[in-house]
Amino acid sequence: MKETYKGKIIKGIAGFYYVYVEDKGLFECKAKGLFRKEKIKPLAGDNVFISITDETLKTGNIEDIDVRKNEIIRPACANIDMAFIVMAASRPAPKYSLLDRIMIFFEYHEIPVALCFNKCDEINDDDLLFIKTRYEKSGAMVFFVSAKEKTGIDGLKKTMQNRTSILTGPSGVGKSSIINLLCPEATRHTEIFKAGAGTYVMDTPGFSSLDVPEIDKDRLKYFFNEFKDFENKCRFDGCSHIHEPGCAVKDALEKGLINSERYESYLNIYKELEAHEKF
């Protein structure tokens, strides 16, 4: 029986998969033909079992793929423990509508979300308070960092420990600078960077726009954590929190218990989903 070692795919290219095995290093591996027959494509982030064909040349074969806890198509990856959505707090100004859509995208895939606002050295206390107030009840952890000043990075590192995390967001927000601080030894030929024992960070292409996943408009409300405490207090079952009288969510909104900008974002996305359903 072949001896196998457990590792993680950090990159796949041209039929080769680069697998990091703890205490042994990085191996260039081929996938067994069995996976092609079963139409299984190994993905970055997959936990796999490899047999080593040459210890010196660091080559091997992927013998088996462990069960995936999750999988997303764009970017194609698996087994993400947490998604960190990076936005610049200044230059460029945060794209809150895009941020809310990316949050829904990962929550739809049941991946916990954290928000990371970079360039916080460039904003004042009022701007900081605005961001905190908008997302304090969203259910997402919120980090304020400055890659330039190297502040707030330790909090990110601590949260990422023993997790496989994905860093995403639009271009120009400083993702690469944050990656370089989290993983100083990282090289740019990988998709997933090792940031410590059992700790991996995945970089992704910049998102400039994002469609909300194909969810029913009536399910959208469940992706806004702010509504949770009021859901069962509406007069009507299945309340959309838009038109109905006796809506506890709208009442909470009027009382300032729900952030108005986040509610406006919910309203805009709801209308988009409603328009799509008509076609």
Which pLDDT score, from 0 to 100, does residue 214 have?
73
pLDDT at 155: 94
User: What is the DSSP code string of the chain?
Assistant: ----EEEEEEEEETTEEEEEETTTEEEEEEE-HHHHHTT----BT-EEEEEEEETTTTEEEEEEEPPPS-EETTTTEE--SEEEEEEESSSSPP-HHHHHHHHHHHHHTT--EEEEEE-GGGS-HHHHHHHHHHHTTSSSEEEE-BTTTTBSHHHHHHHHTTSEEEEE--TTSSHHHHHHHH-TT--TT-SEEEEETTEEEEE-PPPS--PPPS--GGGGGGG-GGGGGGGGGSSSTT--SSS-TT-HHHHHHHTTSS-HHHHHHHHHHHHHHHHHHT-
CATH architecture of the region 5-66: Beta Barrel (2.40)
Which part of the chain is CATH 2.40.50.140? 5-66
**pLDDT tens, residue by residue, 208-219:** 556 666 788 999
Does residue 258 carry a pLDDT above 70? yes
Q: What is the pLDDT of residue 183?
A: 87
Start-end of CATH 3.40.50.300 domains in the chain: 72-203
Domain with CATH 1.10.40.50 in the chain: 217-277
Question: What is the percentage of the chain residues whose pLDDT exceeds 90?
Answer: 68
Query: Looking at residues 18-32, what average pLDDT do you find?
Result: 92
Share of the chain above pLDDT 70, in %: 94
- Sequence-separated (6 or more) residues with CB below 8 Å from residue 200: 8, 10, 45, 163, 164, 165, 192, 193, 194
Terminus-to-terminus CA distance in the chain, angstroms? 56
pLDDT band at 62 (very low <50, low <70, confident <90, very high): very high
Distance CA 165, CA 257 (A): 31
Across 229-238, average pLDDT: 92
For 233, other C-beta atoms within 10 Å of its C-beta total: 13
| Whole-number pLDDT of residue 275 | 84
The string of pLDDT tens digits covering residues 165-209 is: 999 888 889 888 999 899 886 665 567 888 888 899 988 766 655
Q: Please count the CA atoms within 13 angstroms of the CA of 53 that sit on its side-chain side.
A: 10
User: Residue 48: its pLDDT value, please?
Assistant: 95
pLDDT at 104: 93
Q: Is the pTM of this model over 0.85?
A: yes
Question: How confident is the model at residue 189, as a pLDDT?
Answer: 54
Report the alpha-carbon distance of residue 116 to residue 137 in Å, rounded. Answer: 16
Q: What is the pLDDT of residue 56?
A: 93
Tokens representing residue 55 in the block: 């210890």
Q: How confident is the model at residue 114 (pLDDT cuts 50, 70, 90)?
A: very high
Asked whether the predicted pLDDT for residue 2 surpasses 90, the reply is no
Q: How does pLDDT run across 270-279, given as a tens digit for each residue?
A: 998 888 776 5
Q: Domain 217-277 carries which CATH code?
A: 1.10.40.50
| pLDDT of the residue at 191 | 78
pLDDT of res. 190: 60
Express each pLDDT in 30-40 by its tens digit. Answer: 998 777 777 88
Neighbours of 35 (CB within 10 A): 14
Q: How confident is the model at residue 140 (pLDDT cuts 50, 70, 90)?
A: very high
Mean of the per-residue pLDDT values of the chain: 90
72-203 is classed CATH 3.40.50.300: yes
